[in-house]
Structure 1
Amino acid sequence: MAQTGSGIDPGFPFSAIVGQDQLRLALTLCAVHPGIGGVLVRGEKGTAKSTVVRALAALLPPVDDGRPARLVELPVGATEDRVVGSLDLEKVLRDGERAFQPGLLAAAHDGVLYVDEVNLLHDHLVDVLLDAAAMGRVHIERDGVSHSHPARFVLVGTMNPEEGELRPQLLDRFGLAVDVAASRDVDTRMQVVRRRLDFEADPGGFAGRYAEQDAALARRIAAARAALPAVALSDTELRRIAALCASFDVDGMRADLVLARTATAHAAWRGADAVAEEDVRVAAELTLPHRRRRDPFDEPGLDPQQLEDAMRDAAEQAGRPDPDPEPDPDPDGPGGAPVPDETPTPPDGQAPETPAADAPAPEAPAPAETAPDEAPARSGPGPAPQRQAGAPSAQFRTRLLQIPGVGEGAPGRRSRSRSPQGRTVRSTSERGHGLHLVGTLFAAAEHQVVRGRTTGRMKLAPSDIRGAHREGREGNLVLFVVDASGSMAARDRLSAVTGAIVSLLRDAYQRRDKVAVITVRGSSAELVLPPTSSVDVAVRRLASLRTGGKTPLAQGFLEARRVVLREKVRDPQRRALVVALTDGRATGGVDPVQRAKVAAGLLADASVASVVVDCESGMIRLGLARELATALRGAYVRLDELSAEQVAGVVRAGTSKFAA
């Protein structure tokens, strides 16, 4: 837990931050009105996210007991007990008193709770934080303790999108969101470096030069807080807010409430006594962008023109007469509320709700094909024709593809793993995750006669201790090997394949996997997406997928083996699952099918689980994909069997040799 304003070395002054105006404004508005619900800061590494957040705490008013506001940092590996508090074992053992020991949320009261890499935090902990930030209190019912305490704080979460996104349902829980990036202006970058070097050379002297500016900001925040209850929000501006949220088609009512609170805080910050249109506009820029992501693969952000159109439509709505607050129940009687003519139409340019909306439209149909699974005929010399992959077909909920055995990888939702957060499945004489009390008692019971116990307490020995074997779920590295050859492009088959891949990617996103994509076509295999937790990038890469040429499947399996072995060095505990989508028709070179089988055997020898998705279609089926699955010693499933709605059950890749 870090603390500012306590005589420790001064931090970087808030007033000395260069640029990042929107981030500083968002943090300031949350300091004025903590009920906004916190700020999510998204941006690349090295953009001063942490510096700005840590500087904010020094500007907050002192708490009721006169101490400075605290900056409490929540580590990614924190447990729920550490966050919300738990039973005070010391008092229980020493005094026999059942007492509560507060956690980090209590320490952050009237201060700042900072979560770096919030996207890597367990989802249930993120829920706890956001609930506390929204309600301003923490309620604990656990371990025989019932406790409640205030927890009003400015919640700030920072994240690098390259390391994986927050789920849309968690994004919505953050009041505001800001995307930050390093300036490309040379003078600005020079100023950032100069101020940082000056601070490192003399922290106290540097902070002293900005002390008065920070003090003025602190006084202004305190004044805005005091004035906040008196700021008026008229029905006209409330109608404008409601119209904006309806125009952007956001889910639920949280956006309307947060936008209203943010607009009120901005009015108080600028010293006004009533919310105006400019306050609503600023609030919309901070409140709405991250709430437009209904699908994990939707692009975040807010198009400026779309905002202008929505503000114009909202202005028309705001100009309408207000309805009677208590309309006559008789629709024909006096005082009835006017009914809008029509529902506001979403402005042009709004992103469709499909996850692959940025995929280009299919090109004109190819010439008539000479065979069901062959590329279009061509004449004359030159390379094989290439074409853009068509738009992905409709997505679906996929079957669970799972690695057999029990691993010890990063927490996720795909394969079984040993996990301290999992459920207890049995006791073990080896080191486990915590004490298995029942197993310990049973182990000791067998020796009570030998140990001379007749009555009284059970006699225990160190050899009786049993650990708890807990099992949870882990995330895996899911590596897609995509056949993008000419035979796959026939009859727009790749549209169905890319639709299946997007469905699998969404499944990987929900199960917290890392993903990688290898495409196979022409004369080589290409790693188009190195292993990453940001699976939405893979969807964007699919939009530009080129097809055509021969099918060097052997190179695809060898490249997959190289990627898996390299990733094992970086993350030894994360198990890999290779998902090959192909019709199995290897071409090019001498005996390409046999070469593909040999390469598949090498991949299997590296203890890599695999699933072959057979994409072959048409009247003539050669069954080569099933032979590849045999060579990989993995699972086999047809493309039309990949949907969980059509086929029940779990596909476990590989054989028992992968079991722990």
Structure 2
Amino acid sequence: MLMSDTPAFPFVAVTGQALLKLALTLITINPSIGGVLISGPRGSAKTTLARGLAQLLPQKGKLVTLPLGASEEMLIGSLDLQQALSDQQVSFNPGLLAKAHDGVLYVDEVNLLPDALVDQLLDVAASRVNIIERDGISHQHPADFLLIGTMNPDEGELRPQLQDRFGLAVELGNQYSIDERMEIVQQREAFDQNPAAFIAKYADSQRSLIKHIQSAQLALSNVTCSDALRRNIAERCHEANVDGMRGDIVWYRAALAHTAWQGRKQVTLEDIDTVEPLVLSHRRNDNGNSTPPPPSSPYSRPPEKPPEPQKQQPKTPPKDTQQSSSQQQQSQGSDNSNNESDNSDDNAGDNDWGGLPPQQQHLETVEAIRLPRQKQTSKIRPTSPTLKDKVMAGKQKGQAKGGSRNGRAPSPSVSWFNTLVGNIAKRNAPTDWQLHYKKARSGKAVLHLILLDTSSSTLAGQAFAKSKGAVLQIAEQAYLLREQLAVMSFGHEQVKWLLPQVRAPKHLQSLLNETPAGGGTPIRDVIMQAQQYLQGAVVKSPDLEIQTYVLTDGRTTQDFDGLSLQGHCTVIDTEQSAVKRGRGKALANAMGADYFHLNALGV
């Protein structure tokens, strides 16, 4: 849908968000950088600034929004049924891609976009041409636009292929000072009461910004970059483990644009430093090892005064929570105590183990893991088919209904294009038309979500190493079946992603070996975050088949009341102490999940 008739909040009137303003300005100066991915919670001005970008383009106001529930025909173009019925000729109505040409295509909640639309966007983003082909009839048109996507990371990850297509990315926060909050509310109130007067108030600043951008566009072709700085970009991309070469190219183009924006003709190290967080924030592959961000730069500066990078503030080192060796031995010895009640034993054990610093355990190979074939049930199943059977059971096949060629039933969705073309070619009267249906789907997508306990208590008896072996075996089976995999860890009183939702990777062992265990067990936090993530995944793909595995020893002071997960869930108990507390089994019963003990899985 077009947004040109809706008054837009002036770009220059937005309070704060200097880094995002800079990113949007750079892609306006040099569209070959690519689009901008804006990640942040609700209320962080993502949409306001994205829509304000259209005001800076030569075709002002040309902003096209891709709705979350859009169909493929809405995006790429559709068949003109009215003309086909009246004139017996087939023609196409332009889709959103055609309307966004030379403008901005804005995708809100881009991480929830259906895979079919993501595939179309990937093709067009690469070629800048939209090609529609239907049974020998081909139509194409240019589709060169700036792609702006917003997302809330709490609602699910973005497909890596589409994420890499965004040249720049900005991660926003919604924490503002008291003065900023007051200014934002006052600005919004003034705009809502009289949009025309508010826009007129900032008209001069807006025109000045547009003139500045146009000057930078003209100067861009004269900007040069030394080989030494090109090498600097390559080395830093290499250090960040950036996949492919798109990051290097985007970084170079963004540095050129920033140099032109500052009114210079030669790229400096400062230009490279300034755009680094925009280029690497969504491309860095450091397996979760955080690195200090490069200095950010203010957005509005006169071109004659180059920006001065802000000094980085040193991070406060974490408090040392290491216990003495005698305390460690005491906490380990508590595993063998059976003189106290289950509840008090759990509390003491969790507190003792939580004091240990993070430690590593390398993966131990697990043979012949056996997991359930049955659908989710509240009972604990005694049967245990192999993991391969389990994962194969998740590969749901479509069922044929009624007779059809090759045993496949027609889809209830009518293929209007094939219907029109077929009946027009046969010169059938409308009353004698035969309907053609779209092909039925042959299967469902499958997601394997693994929740891995990385608390200190899992270090006992090599339970953590064995858990890693179980994760690897699940991943290998999912990889062979071309199914999706996501791994979330919970330990050290925090929950974080080890592996976002991707096609199951072939090589996961190195990532697992680099994952340490430490701290307490936030079991409730991980279950609630996983449920929220799964709800978003189902919104994106309603037919998604979900298989969740919780690998934990259950040693936590938190209760299990009210915990549940969407889809089929299996709890794999990793407790290795001589006296079992049965907390893993209690978790499975509370969640209505299948239950197995790691020692019973052929380890």
TM bucket, shorter chain: 0.5 to 0.7
Query: Residue 147 of structure 1 is aligned with which of 139, 147, 150?
Result: 139
1:303 counterpart letter in structure 2: P
Could you give the per-residue CA deviations for residues 408-455 of structure 1, whole angstroms, max 9, x where no partner exists? xxxxx995679xxxx785469999640499xx9xxxxxxxxxxxxxxx
| One of 27, 44, 47 as aligned partner of 1:47 | 44
Aligned to 1:496: 466
Superposed displacement of residue 103, structure 1: 1.7
Any idea what the Cα deviations from partners look like across 1:1-43, whole Å, max 9, x if unmatched?
1322xxx352110110111111011001111111111001111
Q: What is the SS of the residue equivalent to 1:290? A: coil
* Aligned match for 2:66, one of 59, 62, 74: 74
In 1, the alpha carbon distance for the partners of 2:165 and 2:127 equals 12
1:611 aligned partner? 570
Alignment partner, residue 387 of structure 2: none
Letter of the aligned partner of 2:138 in structure 1?
S
Moved more, 380-389 or 43-52: 380-389
Is it true that 1:12 corresponds to 2:14 in the alignment? no
Q: What is the CA–CA distance in structure 2 between the aligned matches of 1:104 and 1:293, rounded to whole Å?
A: 34
Conserved 8 A contact 1:9-1:204: no
**Is the deviation greater in 606-615 or in 190-199?**
606-615
Q: Which residue of 1 aligns with 2:413?
A: 434
Please name the residue that 1:452 is paired with: none
Letter of the 1:49 partner, please give it: K
Asked if 1:135 is matched to 2:127, the reply is yes
Query: In structure 2, what is the Cα distance between the partners aligned to 1:631 and 1:14?
Result: 51
Kindly indicate whether residue 221 of structure 2 is the aligned counterpart of residue 255 of structure 1. Answer: no
Describe the superposition over 1:104-125 as per-residue Cα deviations: whole angstroms up to 9, x where unpaired. Answer: 1111111111111111113443
Distance 1:116 1:400 in 2: 42
The Cα of 1:266 is off from its aligned counterpart by: 1.5
Indicate yes or no: 2:27 matched with 1:30: yes
| SS, match of residue 172 in structure 1 | helix
CA distance in 1, matches of 2:456, 2:292: 37
Partner of 2:520: 546
- Residues 166-217 of structure 1: per-residue CA shift (max 9 Å, x gap): 2444332210011111343221221111111111121111111001111121
Contact 1:580 1:611 survives alignment (8 Å) = yes
Q: 1:240 corresponds to which letter in structure 2?
A: N
Alignment of 1:250-289 (within 5 A): 250-289=242-281
CA distance in 2 between partners of 1:387 and 1:58 (Å): 57
Query: Which 5+ residue runs of structure 2 have no aligned equivalent?
Result: 298-313, 315-320, 377-391, 420-427, 503-511
- Deviation string, structure 1 residues 68-120 (Cα, Å, up to 9, x no partner): 45101111222233222244444434333343333211111111111111111
Q: Report whether the alignment pairs 1:160 with 2:160.
A: no
- Partner Cα separation in structure 1 for residue 123 and residue 36 of structure 2: 14
Q: Note if contact 1:11-1:54 (Cα within 8 Å) is conserved in structure 2.
A: yes
Cα distance, 1:249 vs. partner? 3.1
Q: Contact 1:36/1:175 (CA < 8 Å) preserved in 2?
A: yes
2-side partners of 1:289 and 1:632: how far apart? 37
Larger radius of gyration: 1
Partners in 1 of 2:31 and 2:174 — Cα distance?
Answer: 27
User: Which one of 273, 278, 293 corresponds to residue 303 of structure 1?
Assistant: 293
CA shift in 2, pair 1:401/1:152, >3 Å: farther
> Aligned in 2, Cα 1:28/1:480: closer, same or farther, shift over 3 Å?
closer
Partner AA of 1:2 in structure 2: L
Shift of 1:285: 2.7
Whichever residue aligns with residue 335 of structure 2, its letter is A
**Alignment partner, residue 83 of structure 1:** 75
Contact 1:115 1:157 in 2 (8 A): yes
Match among 50, 68, 84 for residue 92 of structure 1:
84
For 2:188, the equivalent position in structure 1 comes to 196
Residues 221, 472 of structure 1: alpha-carbon distance in 2 compared, 3 angstrom cutoff: farther
Where does residue 385 of structure 2 map in the other structure?
none
Q: Distance in 1 between matches of 2:84 and 2:52?
A: 39
Residue 113 in structure 1 maps to residue 102 in structure 2: no
Residue 231 of structure 2 is aligned to residue 239 of structure 1: yes
- Offset at 1:632? 9.7
* CA positional deviation for 1:467: 9.3
Amino acid across the alignment from 2:148: V
Which amino acid counterpart does residue 272 of structure 1 have in structure 2? R
Matches within 5 A, 1:468-487: 470=441, 472-473=443-444
Whichever residue aligns with residue 170 of structure 1, its letter is L
3-state DSSP of counterpart to 1:181: coil
Alpha-carbon distance in 2 for matches of 1:436, 1:427: 19
Contact 2:361 2:462 in 1 (8 A): no
Give the equivalent residue in structure 2 for 1:214.
206
Q: Which moved more, 1:119-128 or 1:423-432?
A: 423-432
Give the Å deviation of 1:472: 4.3
User: What's 1:387 paired with?
Assistant: 353
Partner of 1:2: 2
Cα distance, 1:633–1:9 mapped onto 2, change above 3 Å: closer
**2:166 paired with 1:174:** yes
Q: Helix, strand or coil for the counterpart of 2:69?
A: coil
Task: Give 1:578 shift.
Answer: 6.3
CA distance in 2, matches of 1:363, 1:503: 36
What are the within-5 Å matches in structure 2 for residues 519-598 of structure 1? Answer: 545-546=519-520, 579=549, 581=551
2:285 aligns with: 293
SS at match of 1:26: helix
Q: How many residues align?
A: 520
Q: CA deviation at 1:603?
A: 10
The structure whose residues are more often strand, as a share, is 1
State how far apart, in whole Å, the 2-side matches of 1:432 and 1:362 are. Answer: 64
* Equivalent position SS for 2:335: coil
Q: 1:387 to 1:209 in 2, by over 3 A?
A: same
Structure 1 residues 362 and 401: alpha-carbon distance in aligned structure 2, compared to 1, 3 A threshold: farther
- The SS at the match of 1:216 is helix
What amino acid is the match of 1:85?
G
Question: What root-mean-square deviation, in Å, do the aligned CA atoms of Structure 1 and Structure 2 show?
Answer: 6.0
SS of residue paired to 1:473: coil
- Asked which structure has the greater RCO (Cα within 8 Å, sep 6+), the reply is 2
Question: Contact 2:241 / 2:285 at 8 angstroms: preserved in 1?
Answer: no
Match of 2:310 in 1: none
Q: Which runs of 5+ in 1 are unaligned?
A: 63-67, 308-348, 350-359, 407-412, 441-455, 520-526, 549-555, 589-598, 647-660
Contact 1:425–1:471 (Cα < 8 Å) also in 2 = no
Q: Counterparts of 2:566 and 2:230 in 1: how far apart (Å)? A: 61
**Alignment partner, residue 380 of structure 2:** none
535 and 104 in structure 1: CA distance in 2 versus 1, 3 angstrom threshold: closer
Q: Secondary structure at the match of 2:467?
A: helix
Percent of residue pairs identical:
35
**1:117–1:160: 8 Å Cα contact kept in structure 2?**
yes
**1:266-323, Cα deviation, whole Å (9 max, x unpaired):** 222222233333222222231122211365xx3677533899xxxxxxxxxxxxxxxx
